[in-house]
A and B are shown apart, each in its own frame.
Chain A
Amino acid sequence: MMEPLLEVRNLRKYFPVRGGFFRSLLSRRQMWVKAVDDVSFHVMPGEIFGLAGESGCGKTTTGKTILKLIEPTAGEVIFDGTEIFNLPPQELKPFRRRMQIIYQDPYESLNPRMNVFDIISEGIDIHELAGSTSEKEELVASALEMVELTPPEEFIFRYPHELSGGQRQRVCIARALVLNPEFIVADEPVSMLDVSIRASILKLMLKWKEESEISYLFITHDLAVARHMCDRIGIMYLGKIVEMGDIDRIIETPRHPYTQALMAAVPVPDPTAERTKVMITGEVPTPIEPPSGCRFHPRCPYAKEICKRETPGLVEVERDHVVACHQLEHSIHL
């Protein structure tokens, strides 16, 4: 049995709420945004693990906390056998090379005062990956070729404002790839790009997965994209994973009412296919003071008394498919 490349155990990230002045007069109790609340999953080598859910459910926070770009509240992250949260900075540094991130917004994630060459070579310098200037130039050029910004000489002296959104995102990806990472957090990497260039970037990511065995944590709110990209997926709702497992099983036979509702919002390839129609109403509650018990109960059509009292745990319903719901009977006969 293969060891997972990345294992996340009971990850929590609570942000303190800076209440207004009047609220602080009324109550002394510190309030917390429970952005990530007891999340566990693993990513195998060469696997793409998806994380999906509505806006604000904690996907980005999960990804950034795993990389310790946000200080975790609790939990462990084990990468290739080493727990990284408790490492001193010097020992964390080699893991920074091995674990990279691609951001959602290519307009914000590049320093406007650095040109493409400096942006991509920064990591090479930090980790001393090149012995000479010419070796560095070669590494930069090959990273640009990987993301199909060719010929590299065309691009290395450009500044971010001289590039299109798609080109910027390719530069961001090249900046990560030049370090030869084993794991990349891809936070909605194409959601802000033109539809016409999305496919080509996603195709490249799949290619590197095959060729270089790069694993991804692929964050998305688009289940169609998730199905195209991912091997396994976790569905998040208000800081918790409510359903997780093999992507095809979850897309074809979702068991959690929330996942079913998400599916109902996705266009079906085969319109004659039978599917459970679960419609959810109401807004996503805030993760400040989330609902008691099952966090989905105020919006769930199957909610019963127990759902308000007890938080359901993840239960295995078939191989590589876990669900957190008290009323699994409702979804057995599809």
Chain B
Amino acid sequence: MALKRRLTDWRNRLVSSAFIFRHNRAGVIGLVIVLFFISMAIFAPFIAPFNPYERIDRSLLPPGGVYLLGTNDMGQDIFSELIWGARVSLSIGFTVALVVMFIGTTVGVVAGYTGGLVDEVLMRFADIILVLPSIPLMILIAAIMGRHNFYVMILALSVVGWGGLARMVRAVTLSLKERTFVEAARALGASGGHIMAKHILPNTAPLILSSVIYQAVGAMMAEAGLAFLGLGDPTAKSWGMMLHYAQTAGGWWGANGNPMWNWIIPPGLCIALVVLGLMLVGQAVEEIVNPRLRRRR
């Protein structure tokens, strides 16, 4: 019985959150966009007509016909590249967001709750991460790790990302720590670990959720930027990587002086749309978790 009550309880909360979300039109649009690209990433093998890594025809064919967006300089189908690109770009974005969430939250809660020397040391690290310019740092990490690959990319993006979240979570932890219910838990005999896990963390969760969405946005933009600069994983075609190849192969000015719009617009547009969609969802989530932001309508 107990479990059932608990489940309905959760369902009620979910339903009421969904209700608020539904009434935020921008949030719904954002969610539709994001879900569209997520399904694109998941079902890429079924949607894409060709293997994007395979040479299938002459290079630089114009759009239309079998090749919806034409072919690139290697004779690969641009439309298929675009579909598979969703996979690479989104998985980098979400993986980085999860890693950042894990590191940032742990560091923030531990530093804030423990205080003293631990706090001092952890926050100095966070500050170092925050003040170092992130693009050069990522380039440096990628260089030290040797080859440019997918996982190095994720690592580099995560390392530069956690500082801000850690600071924010720490600030919230500091104020939660002073709340009477935390003192009440100490009076019950709870240990520090128990208090952090049961009382502090759940109360930072709403804040973390929206910030993780923004982290994903940041990671995807950074990935696109790095890839465009040629620092991405050449074997995993993300949208940024497509733009990079388009640029190095001369697609930006074209054979006869006209830029190859069919090659450069689609990946750029995809990046912009995903970022827009995530931002809209992020704002809607913020409104749910922070009722003060809720607009009266």
Question: A-B contact count, CB below 8 Å?
Answer: 57
Distance of A230 from chain B, by nearest CB (Å): 22
Q: Which of A101-143 contact B (CB under 8 A)?
A: 101, 103, 105, 108-115, 117, 122-123, 126-127, 137
| Sample of 15 A–B contacts (CB below 8 Å) | A93-B189, A96-B187, A96-B189, A103-B184, A109-B180, A109-B184, A111-B198, A111-B202, A111-B203, A122-B185, A127-B189, A137-B2, A157-B6, A157-B9, A175-B184
Nearest residue, chain B, Cβ from A178: B188
A105-B180, A126-B189 given; 10 more Cβ-contact pairs under 8 Å: A69-B183, A69-B186, A103-B184, A110-B181, A112-B203, A113-B202, A122-B188, A122-B190, A123-B189, A179-B188
Residue A232 lies at the interface, judged by CB distance under 8 Å to chain B: no
Q: Which of B198-238 contact A (CB under 8 A)?
A: 198-199, 202-203
Distance of B154 from chain A, by nearest CB (Å): 31
Residue A260 lies at the interface, judged by CB distance under 8 Å to chain B: no
Question: B180, A157: Cβ atoms under 8 Å?
Answer: no
Distance of A103 from chain B, by nearest CB (Å): 6
**Which A residues lie within 8 Å of B191 (CB)?**
89
Number of interface residues, chain B, beta carbon within 8 A: 21
Q: Which of A147-175 contact B (CB under 8 A)?
A: 157, 172, 175
**Which B residues lie within 8 Å of A103 (CB)?**
180, 184
Residue A35 lies at the interface, judged by CB distance under 8 Å to chain B: no
Question: A108, B189: Cβ atoms under 8 Å?
Answer: no
Q: Report, nearest first, the 4 A-B pairs whose CB atoms are least far apart.
A: A96-B189, A108-B180, A109-B180, A123-B188
The bracket for how many chain A residues form the interface is 20 to 34
Distance of B221 from chain A, by nearest CB (Å): 33
Residue B23 lies at the interface, judged by CB distance under 8 Å to chain A: no
**Could you tell me the dominant secondary structure of chain B's interface residues?**
helix
Complex-state Cα separation, A64 to B186, whole angstroms: 11
Residue A97 lies at the interface, judged by CB distance under 8 Å to chain B: yes
Distance of A12 from chain B, by nearest CB (Å): 20
Residue B22 lies at the interface, judged by CB distance under 8 Å to chain A: no
Question: A96, B188: Cβ atoms under 8 Å?
Answer: yes
Nearest residue, chain A, Cβ from B5: A157
**Which A residues lie within 8 Å of B183 (CB)?**
64, 69
> If A111-B181, A157-B6, A157-B9 touch, does A69 touch B190 (CB 8 Å cutoff)?
no
> If A122-B198, A157-B5 touch, does A101 touch B184 (CB 8 Å cutoff)?
yes
> If A111-B181, A113-B203 touch, does A67 touch B187 (CB 8 Å cutoff)?
yes
Question: A109, B190: Cβ atoms under 8 Å?
Answer: no
Q: Which of B146-203 contact A (CB under 8 A)?
A: 179-181, 183-191, 194, 198-199, 202-203
